[in-house]
């Protein structure tokens, strides 16, 4: 692995340090809140902040915009704070909202739109609180290009031809659109991106047949959204393995005995890295100590695609006893912290062979949603199938041929396979890749420094004034979809920004 050299910013002679964030979702809210706190702590008044957002609202981003109440967060509200200094921030916000506090008392898994409102209010509050120290402007325009100038600053170009100059830029552009696996883009009745369901499902007639490509959390959301709006037609859920995610069990505190940072870093001290073999050795010991078979829980190849009986077993397991989930939560937290010490090729093996099965267990369905999925299975309105061979459109119908030679006919197809891993499909990132400002990570996204979020250029230099956060940095981190991890990274980027700011304004 080549040595990485920090690119030091050139001196800013304008007197005001300017910061731009490209994107306006949850990562941006967390970064802005942290940056405002730091600026006010140091009572610095030479900072200007700009947020660029291509949509019409800033705060919720794609995951948390207004949608049906059945579209829920699959993480308890108590673990959803956007504030690095207060893990109870979201709970405290809910307490002062009588309607939402009532919802919270009914279920700790709240509608996504509620968290979206919290994000919007948190952003507005942070901007208002810091206005005398760090004035902020919001520009609702799409950023199409970024150029690094000779003086070290960045020129941002928007889609209407305007140019803006900044000293520090954070790329927080959210998730990539899904891949078009079956070349269906443009076909009537095909929905490429599922969210928000309120909009994407509005043209589906009540008795029409719908096929969901994928069987993960997004597919569950779409099935429940159809149920919520009174859909009566058949729903097919088709994926490679035909398996629904696990059902979330009790996730109380658990202290690992073997899979610990101390034990993992002993391998690092000896070999200079932590291999998958090292991690699996400790993971096996951890599960064995709890009298559990790790292979059977995480990678049971004997499990066939889900149906009524198998899903009922998942429900029963989550309600009665689910000890492996508590262990997995702690193992996950530990893995997030040492992932930087795992060689890239080992990460690639994990992603290609094991990540799908792992996420099936670690990103489970809340019980409140799982019960409704069970009702759809029991009524036979929902059927889960495995293995697509081909999809063709003839006249007004889609014909889906499965690997077992079964063929189903449907009126609509919804792609719920998740965001693409190919960053070159994003026009802005493609431009940055072409100029060498950023470079692709073999495990997805663009390369960033693990600790600071600073991007790594084509010549292996860490650029301290250009950072990236969220899905576009997913190759660097173990599980980038964790809000807790996003908040941590946003805080580190805000710290990096303040360090560079201080150096530039001395």
Q: Which of 151-155, 360-364, 415-419, 452-456 has the lowest mean pLDDT?
A: 360-364
Q: Band the pLDDT of 298: cuts 50, 70, 90.
A: confident
Helices (H), 130-216: 197-200
User: What is the three-class DSSP state of 7?
Assistant: strand
**pLDDT at 146 > cutoff 80:** yes
Burial class (CB within 10 angstroms; exposed 0-12, middle 13-18, buried 19+) of 314: buried
Q: Band the pLDDT of 209: cuts 50, 70, 90.
A: very high
Residue at token pair 């889960």? 384
Rounded Cα distance, 471 and 176, in Å: 8
Show Cβ contacts of residue 318 under 8 Å, excluding neighbours closer than 6 positions.
246, 247, 248, 249, 364, 367, 370
Rounded Cα distance, 436 and 434, in Å: 6
239 within 8 A of 215, measured Cβ to Cβ: yes
411 within 8 A of 209, measured Cβ to Cβ: yes
Q: Band the pLDDT of 11: cuts 50, 70, 90.
A: very low
Show Cβ contacts of residue 54 under 8 Å, excluding neighbours closer than 6 positions.
140, 141, 142, 143, 159
User: Would you state the pLDDT for residue 465?
Assistant: 95
Residue at token pair 């927080």? 172
Burial class (CB within 10 angstroms; exposed 0-12, middle 13-18, buried 19+) of 365: buried
In tens, the pLDDT along 180-203 reads 999 999 999 999 999 999 999 999
**pLDDT at 4 > cutoff 50:** no
181: nearest Cα among 239, 101, 224, 99: 239
User: Would you state the pLDDT for residue 359?
Assistant: 87
Domains of the chain: 5-66+116-177+420-505 (3.50.50.60), 190-245+365-415 (3.50.50.60), 261-362 (no CATH)
User: Would you state the pLDDT for residue 394?
Assistant: 92
Rounded Cα distance, 306 and 242, in Å: 6
- How many other C-beta atoms are found inside a 10 Å radius of the C-beta of residue 412? 22
Summarize the confidence of residues 263-291 as an average pLDDT: 92
188: nearest Cα among 409, 417, 396: 396
Q: Which of 71-75, 250-254, 396-400 has the lowest mean pLDDT?
A: 250-254
Q: Put the strands of the sheet holding 143-148 in their side by side order.
A: 143-148, 154-158, 163-166
Locate 118 and state its tokens. Answer: 């919290």
Mean pLDDT estimate for the chain: 90
pTM for this prediction: 0.92
**pLDDT at 336 > cutoff 80:** yes
Summarize the confidence of residues 48-62 as an average pLDDT: 93
Rounded Cα distance, 39 and 97, in Å: 29
**pLDDT at 318 > cutoff 80:** no
Rounded Cα distance, 122 and 124, in Å: 6
Burial class (CB within 10 angstroms; exposed 0-12, middle 13-18, buried 19+) of 272: exposed
């Amino acid at each position: 692995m080549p040595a990485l050299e920090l690119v030091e910013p050139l001196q800013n002679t304008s007197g005001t340090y300017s910061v731009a964030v490209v994107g306006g979702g949850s990562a941006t809210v967390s970064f802005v809140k942290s940056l405002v706190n730091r600026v006010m702590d140091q009572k610095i008044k030479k900072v200007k902040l700009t947020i660029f957002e291509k949509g019409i609202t800033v705060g919720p981003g794609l995951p948390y915009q207004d949608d049906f109440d059945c579209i829920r967060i699959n993480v308890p509200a108590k673990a959803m704070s956007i504030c690095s200094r207060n893990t109870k921030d979201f709970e405290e916000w809910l307490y002062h909202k009588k309607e939402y506090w009532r919802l919270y008392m009914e279920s700790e898994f709240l509608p996504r739109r509620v968290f979206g409102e919290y994000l919007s209010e948190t952003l507005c509050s942070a901007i208002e609180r810091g206005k005398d120290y760090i004035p902020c402007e919001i520009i609702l325009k799409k950023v199409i290009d970024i150029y690094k100038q000779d003086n070290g600053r960045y020129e941002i170009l928007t889609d209407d031809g305007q140019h803006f100059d900044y000293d520090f830029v954070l790329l927080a552009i959210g998730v990539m659109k899904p891949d078009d696996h079956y070349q269906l883009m443009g076909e009537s009745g095909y929905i490429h991106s599922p969210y928000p369901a309120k909009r994407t499902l509005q043209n589906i007639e009540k008795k029409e047949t719908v096929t969901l490509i994928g069987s993960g959390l997004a597919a569950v959301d779409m099935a429940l959204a159809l149920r919520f709006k009174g859909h009566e037609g058949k729903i097919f859920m088709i994926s490679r393995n035909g398996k629904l995610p696990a059902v979330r069990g009790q996730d109380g505190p658990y202290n690992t005995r073997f899979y610990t940072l101390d034990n993992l870093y002993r391998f690092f001290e000896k070999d200079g890295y932590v291999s998958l073999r090292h991690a699996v050795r400790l993971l096996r010991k951890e599960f064995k100590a709890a009298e559990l078979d790790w292979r059977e829980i995480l990678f049971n190849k004997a499990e066939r695609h889900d149906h009524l009986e198998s899903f009922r077993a998942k429900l029963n397991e989550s309600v009665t006893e689910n000890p492996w989930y508590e262990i997995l939560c702690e193992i996950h937290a530990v893995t997030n912290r040492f992932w930087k010490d795992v060689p890239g090729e080992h990460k690639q093996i994990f992603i290609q062979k094991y990540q799908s099965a792992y996420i099936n267990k670690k990103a489970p369905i809340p019980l409140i949603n799982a019960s409704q999925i069970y009702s759809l299975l029991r009524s036979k309105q929902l059927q889960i199938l495995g293995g697509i061979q081909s999809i063709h459109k003839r006249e007004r119908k889609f014909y889906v041929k499965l690997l077992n030679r079964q063929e189903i006919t449907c009126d609509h197809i919804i792609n719920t396979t998740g965001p693409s891993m190919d960053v070159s499909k994003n026009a802005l990132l493609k431009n940055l890749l072409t100029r060498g400002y950023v470079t692709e990570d073999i495990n997805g996204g663009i390369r960033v420094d693990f600790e600071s979020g600073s991007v790594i250029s084509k010549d292996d230099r860490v650029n301290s004034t250009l950072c990236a956060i969220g899905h576009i940095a997913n190759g660097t981190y173990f599980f980038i979809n964790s809000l807790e991890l996003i908040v941590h990274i946003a805080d580190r980027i805000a710290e990096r920004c303040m360090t560079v700011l201080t150096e530039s304004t001395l």
